Structure 1
Amino acid sequence: MVGGLMVAMALPASAATIDTGATYVFVNRFSGKAMDVYGWSTSNGAPVNQWSRNDLAVQQWKFQSSGTSGYYEIKNVHSGKLLELAGSTDGTQLTQNSDGNTKTQHWAVKDSDSGYVRFINRASGKAIDVWEWKTEDGAKLAGFSDLNGANQQWSLTKLGSGGDPGTGAPTGQWPSSAGSVKISGTVSVSGTFDGGMKTYCCIGDGGQSESQDPMFKIANGGTLQNVIIGSPAGDGVHCEGTCTLKNVWWNDIGEDAATFKGTGGGTSYVIGGGARSGSDKTFQHNGNGTVSISGFYLNGSGKLYRACGNCSSSHQRHVKIDNVLVSDVDMVAGINSNWGDTATITRLVVDGGATVCGKYKGVSKGSEPSYIGEGWNDSNCKVTKSDVTYK
Structure 2
Amino acid sequence: MSIKTFCNKALLFAALAILASPSFAQIANGRYVIINQFSGKAMDVSNRSQDDGANIIQWTYGGGTNQQWDVTNLGNGYYSIRAAHSGKSIDVYEWNSNDGADARQWTWLNGQNQHWAIDNVGNNTFAITSRFSAKALEVFEFNAADGGDIRLWTYWGGASQLWRFNPVSTNGGGNNGSITGATCNSTGSTSVSSTIRVTSGTYDGGCRTFNPTSALGDGGQSESQQPAFRVENGATLRNVIIGNNGVDGIHVYNGGTLENIRWTNVGEDAMTIKSSGTVNVRNISGYNGEDKFIQVNAASTLNVSNCVVDNMGKFLRQNGGTTFRTVVSVDRCQISNMGEGIFRSDSPNSEARITNSRLRNAGSICIGNWASCTSSGITNY
**TM-score, length basis structure 1:** 0.50
1:188 offset after TM fit, Å?
0.7
For residues 1-391 of structure 1, what are the structure 2 equivalents within 5 Å? 78=63, 169-171=178-180, 175-190=184-199, 191-202=201-212, 203-263=216-276, 265=277, 267-310=278-321, 314-329=323-338, 330-338=340-348, 340-360=349-369, 379-384=371-376, 387-391=377-381
CA pair 281-212 structure 1, distance change in 2 beyond 3 A: same
What displacement does 1:251 show?
0.5
Partner of 1:213, secondary structure, is coil
d(CA) in 2 for partners of 1:353, 1:186: 32
- The residue type equivalent to 2:308 in the other structure is Y
**Unmatched 5+ residue regions in structure 1?**
1-40, 42-76, 81-164, 362-378
Counterpart contact for 1:168–1:295, Cα < 8 Å? no
Shift of 1:175: 4.3
What is the identity percentage for the equivalent residue pairs of Structure 1 and Structure 2?
35
Q: C-alpha separation between the residues in 2 aligned to 1:167 and 1:215?
A: 33
CA distances 1:91-145 after superposition (whole Å, capped 9, x unpaired): xxxxxxxxxxxxxxxxxxxxxxxxxxxxxxxxxxxxxxxxxxxxxxxxxxxxxxx
Q: Cα gap change, 1:294/1:173 in structure 2, threshold over 3 Å: closer, same or farther?
A: closer
> RMSD value over aligned CA atoms?
2.9
> In the aligned structure 1, how far is the partner of 2:260 from the partner of 2:252?
16
Q: How far off is 1:274 after superposition?
A: 0.6
Looking at structure 2, the residues matched to 353 and 282 of structure 1 have their Cα atoms a distance apart, in angstroms, of: 13
Q: Tell me by how many angstroms 1:166 deviates.
A: 5.6
CA distance in 1, matches of 2:362, 2:197: 38
Q: CA deviation at 1:355?
A: 1.1
SS of aligned partner of 1:262: coil
Match of 1:228, SS state, is strand
* Unmatched 5+ stretches in structure 2: 1-30, 32-61, 66-173
- Counterpart-to-counterpart distance in 1, 2:259 and 2:175: 10
Q: Distance in 1 between matches of 2:261 and 2:227?
A: 15
Q: Secondary structure of 1:323's match?
A: strand
3-state SS of paired residue (1:358)? strand
Deviation per residue, 1:348-374 (Å, 9 max, x gap): 20123421121248xxxxxxxxxxxxx
CA distance in 2, matches of 1:271, 1:302: 21
Residues 180 and 262 of structure 1, relative CA distance in 2, 3 Å threshold: same
Change in 2 beyond 3 A, CA 1:284/1:306: same
Deviations 1:10-67 (A, max 9, x none): xxxxxxxxxxxxxxxxxxxxxxxxxxxxxxx9xxxxxxxxxxxxxxxxxxxxxxxxxx
What TM-score comes out, normalization by structure 2 length? Answer: 0.51
Q: Secondary structure at the match of 1:290?
A: strand
Distance verdict in 2 for CA 1:208–1:247, change over 3 Å: same
1:345, distance to aligned residue in structure 2 (A): 1.2
Query: 2:184–2:239: 8 Å Cα contact kept in structure 1?
Result: no
Cα contact 1:166–1:272 (8 A) shared by 2: no
- What is the CA-CA distance between 1:307 and the residue it aligns to? 1.4
The residue that corresponds to 1:72 in the other structure is none
Partner Cα distance (1:166, 1:244) in 2: 18
Change (3 A) 1:173 1:195: closer
